[in-house]
Structure 1
Amino acid sequence: RALSDEHSSIDASPSSLGATGLLSLPWEMVTHIASHLPAQCVITVLPKVCHALSNVGKDNTAWQIRARRLTGSRAIFPVGPKEDFDWPTACLEMEQGLAWKDRRWPLECITLPSDHIAQINTVLLVGGEGKFCATGSRDWNVQLWNLEAGPSGALVHTLGGQGHFSTHKGWVWCLASQGPLLASGGFDSTVRLWDLPTGGAERGTIKTDAPVLCLSFQDNMLLAGTFDRKVTMYDPRVAEPLVKSLHLHGNAVMCLAADDRYIISGSKDCTVAVYDCRVGKGLKKIRLKTYPLSMSYSGSEVWAGDNKGMLHTFSMQAGVLKPLSQFDVGHTAMVTGIHRSPGSLYTCSVDRTVKVHIPCSPPRTLCTLQQQTGVNGVSKAGVLAVASGETCIEVWRPRK
Structure 2
Amino acid sequence: MALPPGPSDNPRAWDDDSEPEPEPEPEPDPDAQAEAYVARVLSPPKPGLAPPRASLLSTPAASPGALEPKAASKIPTVGVPGLLSLPPELLLEICAYLDARLVLFVLPRVCHTLRDLVRDHVTWRLRAQRRVRAPYPVVEVWCRLCSLETRGGLSAGAHWGTCSWCSAEEDFDWPAACIELEQHLAHWAEDGHRAEYFCLADGHFASIDSVLLLQGGALCLSGSRDRNVNLWDLRQLGAEPSQVLVKALGTQPNSTHKGWVWSLAAQDHRVCSGSWDSTVKLWDMAADGQQFGEIKGRAAVLCLSYRPDILVAGTYDKKVTIYDPRAGPAQLQSRRLHSSAVLALVADDRHIISSSEDHTLVVFDRRTNSVLQRLQLDSYLLCMSYQEPQLWTGDNEGLLHVFANCNGCVQLVRSFDVGHRSQITGIKHSLGALYTTSTDKTIRVHVPTDPPRTICTRSHHNVLNGICAEGNVVVAASGGLSLEVWRFQA
Which TM class, normalised by the smaller chain length? over 0.9
Q: Which residue number corresponds to residue 245 of structure 1?
A: 334
CA distance in structure 1 between the partners assigned to 2:487 and 2:113 by the alignment = 35
The one-letter code sitting in structure 2 at the alignment partner of 1:145 is W
Shift of 1:51: 4.1
Q: Which residue number corresponds to residue 120 of structure 1?
A: 208
CA distance in structure 2 between the partners assigned to 1:326 and 1:206 by the alignment = 37
TM-score by length of 2: 0.76
CA distance in structure 2 between the partners assigned to 1:308 and 1:237 by the alignment = 39
Of 115, 126, 144, 1:54 maps to 115
Q: Indicate whether 1:134 and 2:234 are aligned.
A: no
Question: Percent of pairs identical after alignment?
Answer: 45
Of 158, 176, 196, 2:248 maps to 158
* Superposition map of 1:320-399 within 5 A: 320-382=409-471, 383-399=473-489
Shift of 1:298: 0.3
Q: Indicate whether 1:12 and 2:100 are aligned.
A: no
* Superposition map of 1:115-264 within 5 A: 115-126=203-214, 128-151=215-238, 152=241, 154-161=244-251, 163-264=252-353
Q: Which has the higher helix share?
A: 2
Of 85, 92, 106, 1:45 maps to 106
Shift of 1:113: 4.6
The one-letter code sitting in structure 1 at the alignment partner of 2:76 is A
Shift of 1:59: 2.0
Distance 1:31 1:387, change over 3 A: same
Contact 1:79 1:360 (8 Å CA) reproduced? no
Distance 1:202 1:303, change over 3 A: same
Shift of 1:104: 6.4
Shift of 1:125: 0.3
The one-letter code sitting in structure 2 at the alignment partner of 1:393 is L
Contact 1:176 1:183 (8 Å CA) reproduced? yes
Q: Which residue number corresponds to residue 102 of structure 1?
A: 190
CA distance in structure 2 between the partners assigned to 1:90 and 1:256 by the alignment = 25
Q: Which residue number corresponds to residue 88 of structure 2?
A: 27
Higher relative contact order (CA 8 A, sep 6+): 2
Q: Which has the higher strand share?
A: 1
Shift of 1:102: 2.9
Report the number of matched residues: 389
CA distance in structure 2 between the partners assigned to 1:342 and 1:125 by the alignment = 18
Q: Which residue number corresponds to residue 78 of structure 1?
A: 138
CA distance in structure 2 between the partners assigned to 1:33 and 1:180 by the alignment = 42
Contact 1:97 1:366 (8 Å CA) reproduced? no
Deviation digits for residues 15-69 of structure 1 (CA, Å, limit 9, x no counterpart): 24x5x53223233321232133232332233234444323333222222222222
Distance 1:189 1:270, change over 3 A: same
Q: Which residue number corresponds to residue 285 of structure 1?
A: 374
CA distance in structure 2 between the partners assigned to 1:357 and 1:56 by the alignment = 30
Shift of 1:223: 0.6
Of 271, 274, 279, 2:360 maps to 271
Please list every run of 5 or more consecutive structure 1 residues that lacks an aligned counterpart in the other structure: none
Contact 2:136 2:448 (8 Å CA) reproduced? no
CA distance in structure 2 between the partners assigned to 1:114 and 1:40 by the alignment = 38
TM-score by length of 1: 0.92
Shift of 1:394: 1.5
